[in-house]
Amino acid sequence: MTYHYIRPEVIANLSADDPFAGLKAQATRHAYAEAIIELAEENPNVVVLDADVSKSIKTNQFAEKFPERSFNFGIAEQNMMAAAAGMATTGLIPYVSTYAVFASMRALDQLRNSIHYPGLNVKVAASHSGITPGPDGVTHQAQEDLSLLRAVANSTVIAGADSVTTKMAVKAAADWEGPVYLSFTRDPVPLIYTDDFPYQIGKAVTVRDGDDVTIVALRDLVMHALIAAERLAAEGISARVIDCHTLKPLDEETILQAARETGGVVTAENNVIFGGLGSAVAELLVENHPIPMERIGVRDTFAESGPYMDLIHKYGLTYPHIMDAVKQVLARKTPVTA
Amino acid sequence: MIIDKEPTPAGTADLVKLTIPELEQMAATVRCDIIEMITEAQAGHPGGSLSAAEILTALYFRLMRINPTDPHWNDRDRFILSKGHACPVWYAVLAERGYYDKSHLMTLRKLDSILQGHADMKKTPGVDMTVGSLGQGFSAGIGMALSGKLRQKDYHVWVVVGDGECQEGAIWEAAMSGAKWKLDNITVVVDKNRIQNDTFVDDVMPIDPLPDKWKAFGWNVMEIDGHNMTAVVEALEKAKTIKGIPTVIIAHTVKGKGVSYMEDVPAWHGKAPSPELAEQALNEITGGAQK
């Protein structure tokens, strides 16, 4: 079997004219909002902190269900983040919900000094990560959050591809001692996985077998990697796809094994090419097994307003770009002889 | 003076209630510790440490429900020195209170020390929150107070901030939240020594009228002479009894208090004295009893 843990209807659609058409989809921020209620029912230590975007993330549903465990700090992310640190010192498990631009940038000082330095058990639930909040424009597009968080010591950085694995991540984070940064999409993304997905923080999952090249992707670009792989197969190219849902700690073993077995790597992330997945994999390969590699990600530019899919296409993040990158890798893998 | 006693069992309060003269004597001892440790380290922040000596001494030797042999006791009062650069006063008080041996004080800022340049809760017994980036300790205290309310714990959270620190916007975010949730289980003391890193607060970025600002943010405000031990103790005790509203105590203090050449001199915000000047300082603090 070529695919693993992928829903049959997703596989059936991969080579369709519109591979997204007809698929069940949900913004992963809303998967978080559902999962946190289920988690809070099981774990009395879970509390949710908001900063005036609970209607958007839908954590207002948590607030209705658990009013005493819900804290809306208003438009004051810095106070919210450090207050979460204080709560964590007493044994609570705060999930701090806001947009990724604010979580990772406005409150980065608090994240670093009050949460990661003392290693406190705070979970950051960051919606609108990457250039997913298309129409909102640049100020609300966190194209750097994964890179910034990855640079902080003691960090764990997660970017789930769909609602299924996002819900698994929200629950796994509660059992993970220490800070966890969970990034979510603003826009709906297809439900890719079946419920038997073997979710484990720090463990990347090979979701498509392949021998010629490996595509390592995270969050909303996993779907694009799958589409690219299916279409490349029609051209005789066998691409492995790895869902690297945990950017940090990086699953070096799975990625290195794939690199050794396929001899070429393409990374795909809806995040800048500086310091994120592409950088992490490049660092790993350069030190251990240098092979041809290409990075799909936001180049050295800000994006703009626009519908989600059009936007990520314009900025080079969709499956045609991944297919081109694969071909570049293959060209370098097998030098043309005169 | 009170350390020679049997350790208190874990999970219970270690009751210590020094008299005002004993507290004054302890504050002088703490001041000597501050001078000695910063002189040995040849780095650190003496001015803002000395200005807070009475406040921290009163809290740790009279007010707070704590147990030095069980620093992580769940029901303990919490203390956060949000103006984290002044941690020498915190380290001195914790050592005198028995959280760790006084010999550690001479390791301040050195490699492998439990006493970091700014306080680290994972390294120093008794430090309830890692601090150093201004404004954040207060917010952490808000989180601890919210947690206490949620879990119906009766511990009290004590936070000391600087007046320079009140220039941080996040201080006012935290102040708003304390009023919103009616956190009467947190008390903030502003160590108003009128000097910040560069020079006088009034010249860098005026923060007055500070009492009016805190009132406008929904806090019960008291003002005291932060070096009058009786006033400090009375204000702290009263703050605990005010219900339904958080209390801030504006403590008017003198930066570098107790050392003539440091008092009210901005240069001593973050500078260590020479051994000779340290000797003079110790003599002044102890009224010549040093040696």
- Asked whether the beta carbons of A160 and A169 are under 8 A apart, the reply is yes
Strands (DSSP E) found in A67-212: 70-72, 93-99, 123-127, 157-159, 180-183, 188-190, 205-208
pLDDT tier, B291 (very low <50, low <70, confident <90, very high otherwise): very low
Coil vs helix vs strand at A189 = strand
Does the pLDDT value for residue B3 go beyond 60? no
Quick check: bond before A135 cis, omega within 30?
Answer: no
> What letter does residue A336 receive in the DSSP assignment?
P
Put simply, the answer to whether A86 touches B150 (Cβ < 8 Å) is no
Q: Alpha-carbon distance B86 to B197, whole Å?
A: 12
For residue A114, list chain B residues with Cβ-Cβ distance below 8 A: 129-130, 133, 136, 139-140
Chain B residue at shortest CA distance from A44:
B151
> What letter does residue B167 receive in the DSSP assignment?
G
pTM: 0.96
For residue A85, list chain B residues with Cβ-Cβ distance below 8 A: 129, 136, 139-140, 143
Q: How far is A103 from chain B (nearest CA, A)?
A: 14
Tell how strand A213-217 and strand A239-243 pair up: parallel
- CATH among 3.40.190.10, 3.40.50.970, 3.10.310.10, 3.40.50.300 for B20-285: 3.40.50.970
Nearest Cα to B76, choosing from B181, B148, B149, B2? B148
Coil vs helix vs strand at B289 = coil
Known catalytic residue at A77: yes
Q: Which residue type does A285 have? A: L
Chain B residue at shortest CA distance from A67:
B150
Query: Which of B132, B139, B170 shows the shortest C-beta gap to A86?
Result: B139
Residue ranges per structural domain of chain B: 20-285
Read off the pLDDT of residues B198-210 as tens digits, 9 standing for 90 and up: 999 999 999 999 9
Put simply, the answer to whether B174 touches A86 (Cβ < 8 Å) is no
* Domains along chain A with CATH numbers: 8-19+196-332 (3.40.50.920), 25-190 (3.40.50.970)
Largest CA distance in chain B: 53
Q: How far is B24 from chain A (nearest CA, A)?
A: 31
Q: Which residue type does B222 have? A: M
This model of the complex carries an ipTM of: 0.95
Read off the pLDDT of residues B31-72 as tens digits, 9 standing for 90 and up: 999 999 999 999 999 999 999 999 999 999 999 999 999 999
Residues forming a β-bridge with B192: B252
Q: CB under 8 Å to B272, separation ≥6 — which residues?
A: B38, B39, B41, B42, B43, B44, B46
Residue A143 has φ and ψ, to the nearest 5°, of -85, -5
Average pLDDT over residues B148-164: 98
Average pLDDT over residues B259-271: 97
Put simply, the answer to whether B173 touches A68 (Cβ < 8 Å) is no
Residues forming a β-bridge with A205: A243
Query: Which of A73, A90, A113 shows the shortest C-beta gap to B147?
Result: A90
Please give the pLDDT value at position A132.
82
For residue A110, list chain B residues with Cβ-Cβ distance below 8 A: 133, 136, 139, 170
Please give the pLDDT value at position A210.
98
Coil vs helix vs strand at A6 = strand
Tokens representing B32 are 């000597």
Put simply, the answer to whether A83 touches B122 (Cβ < 8 Å) is no
Coil vs helix vs strand at A182 = strand
pLDDT in single tens digits along all 338 residues of chain A:
799 999 999 999 999 999 999 999 999 999 999 999 999 999 999 999 999 999 999 999 999 999 999 999 999 999 999 999 999 999 999 999 999 999 999 999 999 999 999 999 999 999 999 998 778 899 999 999 999 999 999 999 999 999 999 999 999 999 999 999 999 999 999 999 999 999 999 999 999 999 999 999 999 999 999 999 999 999 999 999 999 999 999 999 999 999 999 999 999 999 999 999 999 999 999 999 999 999 999 999 999 999 999 999 999 999 999 999 999 999 998 665 55
Residue A236 Ramachandran class (φ > 0 left, ψ -120 to 50 alpha, else beta)? left
Read off the pLDDT of residues B218-250 as tens digits, 9 standing for 90 and up: 999 999 999 999 999 999 999 999 999 999 999
| Cα torsion B169, B163, B86, B99: sign | negative
Chain B residue at shortest CA distance from A49:
B143
Nearest Cα to B257, choosing from B92, B50, B90, B57? B50
Strands (DSSP E) found in chain A: 25-27, 46-50, 70-72, 93-99, 123-127, 157-159, 180-183, 188-190, 205-208, 213-217, 239-243, 246-248, 265-272, 293-298
Other C-beta atoms closer than 10 Å to the C-beta of A9 total 12
Query: Which of B78, B136, B144 shows the shortest C-beta gap to A114?
Result: B136
* Annotated active-site residue in A77, A144, A230, A269: A77
**Chain A interface residues (partner B, CB cutoff 8 A):** 47, 68-69, 71, 73-74, 76, 78-92, 94, 109-110, 113-114, 117-119
How many inter-chain contacts (A to B, CB under 8 Å) are there? Answer: 109
Burial class (CB in 10 A: 0-12, 13-18, 19+), A139: exposed
Residues forming a β-bridge with A215: A241, A266
Please give the pLDDT value at position A333.
87
Across chain B, mean pLDDT equals 96
Please give the pLDDT value at position B11.
84
Q: Alpha-carbon distance B241 to A338, whole Å?
A: 89
Please give the pLDDT value at position A45.
98
Tokens representing A197 are 């997905």
Q: Which residue has the tokens 């750097």?
A: A144
> DSSP alpha helices (H): ranges in A201-248?
221-234
Please give the pLDDT value at position B68.
96
Q: Alpha-carbon distance B124 to B116, whole Å?
A: 8
